[in-house]
Structure 1
Amino acid sequence: MTIAALCFAAALIASPALTGCSSSSGGDDGYVTVNAGEPQNPLVPTNTNENMGGRVVDRLFAGLKYYDVDGKSFNELAQSIDSPDRKHYTITLKPDWTFTDGTPVTAKSFVDAWNYGALGTNGQLNNWVFSPIVGYTDVAADPPKAQTMSGLKVVDTRTFTVDLTQPSMDFELSLGFSPFYPMPEVAFKDMKAFGEHPVGNGPYELTSWDHNVEIKVKPNPGYHGGRPAKNKGLRFMMYQSFDTAYADLLAGNLDALDTVPTSALETYKKDLGDRAIDHPTAQNLHIGIQPNLAHFGGAEGVLRRKAVSMAINREQICANIFHGARLPALDFTASTLPGFRGDLPGAQWLKFNPDEAKKLWAQADAISPWSGSLQIAYNADGDHQAVIEAIANSVKNTLGIDTGGFPYPTFKNVRDEVTHRTINKAFRYGWQGDYPSMFEFLTSQYLSGSETNDIDYANPEVDRLINAALASATPDQAYGLLAQAQTLLLADMADIPVLEYSAAAARSDKVKAKVTWSGLFDFENIEKP
């Protein structure tokens, strides 16, 4: 959602969850079958920050804006978004929008949803998106000093105003991101129950959720926005592995697969012909390490993270495992995003350099001698074994320490321990754009206080530079400040960027389908004759 990050949405790179058997293609219902996994949490927009939940939430809800297959933004519910200074906004909604329970979508639907997402006691994972709004700090405090953000005001049924603490060149673009979706009054009566049976206003409505098996959605006849469903519905099928999903695709039992397994990357284009999809996307893979892991706090931790980074042979991994479907990371975002710079000061720490890695590791040992092993957690249902084993072997062979992968059964298992700070290992994680901006990658994961900051990174100067970039007068000025922020991230080696993605996806011969800028399918436009 994660990120959508640009996500849409969101979110963190998830992986299919649980079913061990292959699925049918939906019988006579005409639904399009797509790969998916069990969402980490109930389907509440402000608390969904991984893409297995995010890909469903984005179908069920509509926001002020939406993003097309190339990441271009358009107004969806917004009739107008006006601001004289990029700090004070007046937002007017289009008339006659309703939720699927028949209640109207109003300005209050947005204001109430945003205030709920920002309130610290609600523990919403996407709270950070509201941090630019006046009054956020009072609402997010523990305990809260206020229940609602003073920067949000309902003017009338279709109009509300938003006051930011400073000008933002990113705010309007971000308004298609899922935390900014409206929610109906019924949601606030029992949010957990609502998340199990969400009532949305998007191009689809929920038909059923069979946990760990499938989620079905059907077109919403009341939707009249810019992304109407061109199919009879979607079945999000949950797989135990991408290999099983790929076998189903080859057998005609799956219509769209967004991640071809590593075992098929060398041959899938030959196997599928024009049904193979190779498309640059805004996704990355990092190794995260929380500061409570022994030997990875303070100055010692900075040295060890840099040593581990320089012990990873990214080029070899990309060539031997992914056959060009991944690229070595050059920063903390993605090279497809506006403002990307591939020559940041400190990027040398992302290059394979065994001699320098050993020197840095020895310097860390001088602070506190290394003991134990370095385990890297990953979800076994996500086709990550090969890459994590390659990373671990590269580190082991370079630094001479015991290093290995540590598989968890499902993505949800890993995410729950990361979220609750009980993982006590290094862990594979990443971000998939929710909306096409470098800000979303950096703010979500590295801004102090963000609930999506899984590594508890905090650097006041990075915060200052990101906020200054948001307030910049021009994109070029903003990108320069973001480059400075990323230079500090590299100096701290906040986490360890490893790879970025070029989507290797596939479709069956039963559908027409495209992959979006973020690496997910353009679900509404999958056509099944």
Structure 2
Amino acid sequence: WKFTDGTDVTANSFVDAWNYAVANAQLGAYFFEPIKGYAEEGVEELEGLEVIDDKTFKVTMNNPTADFPQRLGYSAFSPLPEVAFEDMDAFGENPVGNGPYMLEEWNHNSNALLVPNPDYAGDNAAQNDGLDIIFYPSQDAAYADLLSGNLDVLDQIPDSAFSVYESDLGDRAVNQPSAVFQSFTIGENLEHFGGEEGVLRRQALSHAINREEITETIFQNTRTPASDFTSPVVAGFSEDVPGNEVLEYDPEKAKELWAQADEMNEWSSPEFAIAYNSDGGHQAWVDAAANSIKNTLEIEAIGAPYPDFKSLRDEVTNRTIETAFRTGWQADYPGMGNFLAAMYGTGAGSNDGDYSNPDFDAKIREADAADSPEEAAERFKEAQTILFEDLPAIPLWYSNVTAGYSENVDNVVFGWDSVPIFTDITKN
């Protein structure tokens, strides 16, 4: 294999790139955490990476990691050519890769022209003459071009067209689950939500939310009600995780569970609030969920808007937030562990509710030590059963890919990561 600058892809192309990410604390560095030597502060080279020859390198892990082959598909693990390390900023302006396309022209904020890589040696060779990636100032403008035939593929339909795009496009409309999970989290430190009382109240809140109605009326069926804590597009997904009946809309069950919690410690909070960032288009569903809770449990339930994503995340990260808050996860790679361990493992970086259950942690370790992805999936399923008992987050729905394409192209398919498989697209 060769990079598009003509240089060879070697074992060092991977090892040097991975070491660079860790040594320079790049945002993707945490993906290398399982590799031996990562935990050492100020490390320049990971102990667990050893170049054997030009086409072979050895990776030694800190712990068994069954889904490591899945992780390798993520962009953090891509190789880099030698020219990248000469001037990383300059390389970012003129990137060189080893994939099916190569960059021919990049006009910032306007478009990027990609052409087939003549030296590409893989199985995903381009079935077209290249791609013109256009950067639109608004989704509405892109949708107008799609309808007029001036755009071939649009990967995100604007909210304003949710109610009409499927009739506008017919069988060229795309609406399918993606690797995005949405929820809201109630911190372990909030009054009334610790211990057994907290478990009962979380279960009551879950039963009080009509997910089917919200995804139909608010999202025009561009969301799919959740049945687990992962995503339908990842291997090992199951709709039949024991305990997931807690996601069913059941007002009577919700009232019963809330009353049981009141017998332990009568509800004394003036309101139950769900915080969200106003710049993310969340108000409608938060208000709908709050109204469902209010009407079912007869408590004051409201949305708590923050002006922007940063304002909300600052309070969540600093643990100063005093309400429930919206949460979610978009997969980095198509593995169940990426949804579960990162969100709910004790001390995990994205465990915003500070959930901790030794039994859950043990199941995650068992999954990581499994002999195969199939065995790991069973352990992850058992781990989710524990989550459904404790509900560290209230699962809501999976975000769908809402997209479309013109009459000028065929073979338009969206992958697990919500991105079109560009190499397969052909012109009519």
CA contact (8 A) 1:118 1:124 kept: no
In the alignment, the residues of structure 2 paired with residue 189 and residue 368 of structure 1 have an alpha-carbon distance, to the nearest angstrom, of 62
Alignment correspondent of 1:151: 48
- Structure 1, unmatched stretches of 5+, are 1-95
1:503 matches 2:373: no
CA change 1:222–1:332 in 2 (3 A) is same
Amino acid corresponding to residue 518 of structure 1 in structure 2: D
Higher relative contact order (CA 8 A, sep 6+): 1
- Residue 507 of structure 1 deviates from its aligned partner by 0.9
- Report the counterpart of residue 232 of structure 1 in structure 2: 130
Q: Equivalent residues in 2 for 1:332-371 (5 A)? A: 332-358=229-255, 363=261, 366=265, 369-371=268-270
Q: Sort the Cα spacing of 1:123 and 1:447 in 2 relative to 1 into closer, same or farther, 3 A.
A: farther
Change (3 A) 1:122 1:296: farther
**Unpaired stretches in structure 2, ≥5 consecutive residues:** none
Computing the radius of gyration from Cα coordinates, the structure with the larger value is 2
Instruction: Give the distance between the partners of 2:64 and 2:249, measured in 1 at CA.
Output: 40
Instruction: Verify: 1:171 aligned to 2:50, yes or no.
Output: no
SS in structure 2 at match of 1:122: coil
Instruction: Report the counterpart of residue 2 of structure 2 in structure 1.
Output: 97
Q: 1:524 & 1:348 partners in 2: Cα distance?
A: 41
Question: For the residues of structure 2 that align with 1:313 and 1:489, how far apart are their CA atoms?
Answer: 20
Cα gap change, 1:437 to 1:182, in 2 (>3 Å): same
Q: Separation in 1 of the partners of 2:267 and 2:90?
A: 49
Alpha-carbon distance between aligned partners in 1 of 2:359 and 2:213, rounded to the nearest angstrom: 35
How far off its partner does 1:418 sit? 7.9
What one-letter code is carried by the residue in structure 2 that aligns with 1:135?
G
Q: Is the 8 A contact 2:234 2:335 kept in 1?
A: yes
What value does the CA root-mean-square deviation take over the aligned residues?
Answer: 3.8
Change (3 A) 1:117 1:278: same
Q: Equivalent residue of 2:386, what SS?
A: helix
Match of 2:328 in 1: 430
**Residue identity opposite 1:170 in structure 2:** D
1:218 counterpart residue number: 114
Match of 2:205 in 1: 308
Amino acid at match of 1:218: L
Distance of aligned partners of 1:307 and 1:114 in 2 relative to their CA distance in 1, 3 Å threshold: farther
| Superposed displacement of residue 337, structure 1 | 3.4
Question: Which of 416, 420, 428 is the matching residue for 1:517?
Answer: 416
- C-alpha change, 1:145 and 1:106, in structure 2 (3 Å) is same
Question: Aligned pair in 2 of structure 1 residues 386, 105: CA closer, same or farther (>3 Å)?
Answer: same
**SS at the partner of 1:486?**
helix
Equivalent position of 1:108 in the other structure: 12
Conserved 8 A contact 1:379-1:414: no
- 1:314 to 1:516, Cα distance in 2 relative to 1, 3 A: same
Matches of 1:109 and 1:450 in 2, distance apart? Answer: 30
1:134 — aligned with what?
Answer: 36
Q: Which moved more, 1:219-228 or 1:499-508?
A: 219-228
Take 2:150 and 2:304, find their aligned partners in 1: how far apart are those partners? 32
For 1:515, give the aligned amino acid.
F
The alpha carbon displacement at 1:333 in A equals: 1.1
Q: 2:391 aligns with which of 465, 469, 493?
A: 493
What are the equivalent positions in structure 2 for 1:315-326 lying under 5 Å apart?
A: 315-326=212-223
- Once the two structures are superposed, residues 159-197 of structure 1 have per-residue CA deviations (whole angstroms, 9 ceiling, x without a partner) of 210123454442223321112112345555676776566
Contact 1:231/1:524 (8 A) holds in 2: no
Report the equivalent of 1:394.
292
Deviation at 1:414, TM superposition (A): 7.1
Q: Which amino acid is the alignment partner of residue 132 of structure 1?
A: P
Provide closer, same or farther for how the CA distance between residues 188 and 312 of structure 1 changes in structure 2, counting only shifts above 3 A: farther
Cα deviations by residue, 1:443-492 (Å, 9 ceiling, x for unpaired): 34334455455555444432321221232235553332111211122223
Residues 396 and 215 of structure 1: is their aligned pair in 2 closer, same or farther, counting only changes over 3 Å? farther
- Is the partner of 2:340 in helix, strand or coil? helix
**Partner Cα distance (1:287, 1:231) in 2:** 44
Q: 1:222 to 1:406 in 2, by over 3 A?
A: farther
Q: Summarize the alignment of residues 458-473 of structure 1 with structure 2, pairs less than 5 Å apart.
A: 458-473=356-371
Q: Provide the TM-score with structure 2 as the length reference.
A: 0.80
Amino acid at match of 1:514: V
Match of 2:426 in 1: 527
Distance 1:396 1:263 in 2: 28
Measure how far apart 1:306 and its partner are. 3.5
TM-score norm. by structure 1 comes to 0.67
Amino acid at match of 1:276: A
Q: 1-side partners of 2:422 and 2:347: how far apart?
A: 33
CA displacement 1:377-405 (0-9 Å, x = unmatched): 14645x54443332233233334224126
Determine the structure 2 residue equivalent to 1:122.
25
